[in-house]
Structure 1
């Protein structure tokens, strides 16, 4: 492991300005307006385009063994037609990468956002192959999502359990419908051949008109992760790969995705340290301890067994004091006041891990990330990894807003549960009123 002092120059490079906007991946900044779009997944539904996320198909008798060796998850009882949230860690139990793994055959799986698995496979030792491919990954999310999908597919989808998938037909084309809920609401990810994407998208938008569907623009692209507590790679933590042991993996990533490090691995905010590992997170800290299965061997098992038995930090939601937030915005209209860093609305869009230190009685007890304004709650929120003793809802804390060397402000906040919004993603579809348009 690289020493703490060796990290200083590298950390300085992580605070340089980004050259691209993270939200550009979702297309236009907004279709109607960001407030309207951000309300959609709680009141009606939206369709959003996540096709830019990479996919890798693994085939061979050792495909599942590969993922068992590198994931905190067990591959036992992993059924064909099932997906699971997989997490890869380093030996210290800090997350390198996480994503979704779908089992599509006896010896065949598809990994979404798991480049680490391809890297490990390429090093040898497994009887399997890996092939990157493109496909649509449209998210249809919200209370009305099931009705829109049934209308456009012309069949019931009530049989699709949470984190299960099967094939349906939209606009005459086969589509894999994976039921998931990244918004904490009813939702599906719709995967298809890229060449049919526009036709499928247009058919969904047309079918969803009567159900109040909205198209999701980039400005609200990650707001649902904040409200529903889905901590995100590069936004809520840095991947645990910035050390000598992972130099070859960084080179692999740079080759596979040119410009990746220049664009997305950037930090900002009041939190400071000379050790880059302080921006790493474990599954336990992010509330994913239930994914860790200690009944098999995997990278990071020993460290995570200890942490799971005696957790030091957990994740919560911080509700920012509205008067303090309004005062920060008001300073932009008061001549002579030093201007603080601007709180982008509805949230930071440049791809920084914007991390602010959280204090209690002057001592740092946590790190706040993913600050964003929720029009649904009419509050400024953030996620926060916090010391266990201060994690109870109602605990009053103070966070420091502003980059080092810039005017900084104290913002009062109150600890609340994460997810802050009620999680309805696993609702029983058979209890919902039927869609009357089906024969």
Structure 2
């Protein structure tokens, strides 16, 4: 039954992602260097945002998430991970506790939570809200955010938020850092977005702030090892407990033309081969068996059986990558194009990782890091191959096209040093 689904997703035409504003502002190379040398401002306002409120709101999130809620204070954020009954990730993102019975969450958890709440059983309601979500991250981010808010911000713990004012507009400053650097994400009313954005840019000008365009935005997810739904993996939307989910999203949320599409050389036998559990995605520390939750039995079975796949970074061999571009000037049919800094269209990329001719893992959407001068990819490989330096091959080229084995080496994930939690 899953084969026709895979074939349909291979046939889908991916679209350019509507988020992040312009393709480039100061040039993608310059923008990539911003989170190493200065900082960037990125616009994630395209993410769906909902509020959930009611006496059962906390119980709802506990019942549907792998995370523990034994301690979750007002003003705290949590990396929320929600799974299907078979333990595959359905949605992940930030959950913010706004009040005793009021919460906010974005992106995947927004749609999945709304879908589950619509089924009833909880004294809690959801509503979609229109907000801006501006990220400022990099070595100079703290100074920029201090100048814009007039607040010291040094007492804000990682994954906590406080109310602030920017350009006279109220908003929340959430400390996080999707580039693996110190950063804040500002949330507020969408109507106030132009004034807040302009104020952050003005505050950042003396510090060399750069605007982050969509052409290079996902490179920070790659360097910092943040797997992303419908980019590095498929959420479990074809599972039995997701029946009606896609129709629900289409009815209640603006899909902006996005459709799930699969590319790459990996040929899964079942659609679940493109889905992953939290352990495989590198989020095992967030799974707490101190409560009952959707997917618990499946994840307990995974723990008992031992890891099957582990998240790593792959470094593509430079000479082999150059061969892909050289083929554009030869007489043979060129290899499939490797777009840089990363694919321009939104799709689930899955290439076969091979060793001695045998598939031993899956390599996801490749991207070029201008800072490291390498093509990198997040990959999921057998645990015994996860040691940095292990040589493997990535089979490049869609089924039926000209293919090439690209030499690659296993590296750490995150690839770039993680500085998000450093003292302010």
Contact conserved, 2:14 with 2:346, CA < 8 A, in 1? no
- Shift in Å, 1:378: 0.4
C-alpha change, 1:306 and 1:274, in structure 2 (3 Å) is closer
Partner SS, residue 295 of structure 1: coil
Which residue is 1:390 aligned to? Answer: 385
Which residue is 2:360 aligned to? Answer: 365
Matched, 1:378 2:394: no
| Structure 2 counterpart of 1:39, from 29, 33, 46 | 33
Partner SS, residue 218 of structure 1: coil
- Shift in Å, 1:426: 0.5
| Residue-pair matches, total | 421
Which residue is 1:187 aligned to? Answer: 183
Partner SS, residue 15 of structure 1: helix
- Provide the C-alpha distance between the structure 2 equivalents of 1:308 and 1:213, rounded to a whole number of angstroms: 44
- Provide the C-alpha distance between the structure 2 equivalents of 1:110 and 1:323, rounded to a whole number of angstroms: 47
Which residue is 2:302 aligned to? Answer: 307
Matched, 1:226 2:222: yes
- Provide the C-alpha distance between the structure 1 equivalents of 2:242 and 2:103, rounded to a whole number of angstroms: 25
- Provide the C-alpha distance between the structure 1 equivalents of 2:288 and 2:340, rounded to a whole number of angstroms: 39
| Structure 1 counterpart of 2:274, from 255, 275, 279 | 279
- Shift in Å, 1:354: 1.1
Which residue is 1:30 aligned to? Answer: 24
Structure 2: runs of 5+ lacking an equivalent? none
- Shift in Å, 1:191: 0.7
- Provide the C-alpha distance between the structure 2 equivalents of 1:101 and 1:44, rounded to a whole number of angstroms: 28
Structure 1: runs of 5+ lacking an equivalent? 1-5, 430-439
Instruction: Give the alignment of 1:21-100 within 5 angstroms.
Output: 21-22=16-17, 24-100=18-94
Partner SS, residue 164 of structure 2: strand
| Structure 2 counterpart of 1:324, from 302, 320, 325 | 320
Matched, 1:175 2:160: no
| Structure 2 counterpart of 1:242, from 216, 238, 243 | 238
Contact conserved, 2:87 with 2:298, CA < 8 A, in 1? yes
Relative to the length of structure 1, the TM-score reads: 0.94
- Shift in Å, 1:244: 4.0
- Offset from partner CA, 1:205-257 (integer Å, 9 cap, x none): 11111101000011011110000000000011111121344222222122123
Instruction: Give the alignment of 1:14-25 within 5 angstroms.
Output: 14-18=9-13, 20-22=15-17, 24-25=18-19
Which residue is 1:424 aligned to? Answer: 419
- Provide the C-alpha distance between the structure 2 equivalents of 1:177 and 1:103, rounded to a whole number of angstroms: 13
- Shift in Å, 1:338: 1.8
- Provide the C-alpha distance between the structure 2 equivalents of 1:207 and 1:413, rounded to a whole number of angstroms: 42
Which residue is 2:8 aligned to? Answer: 13
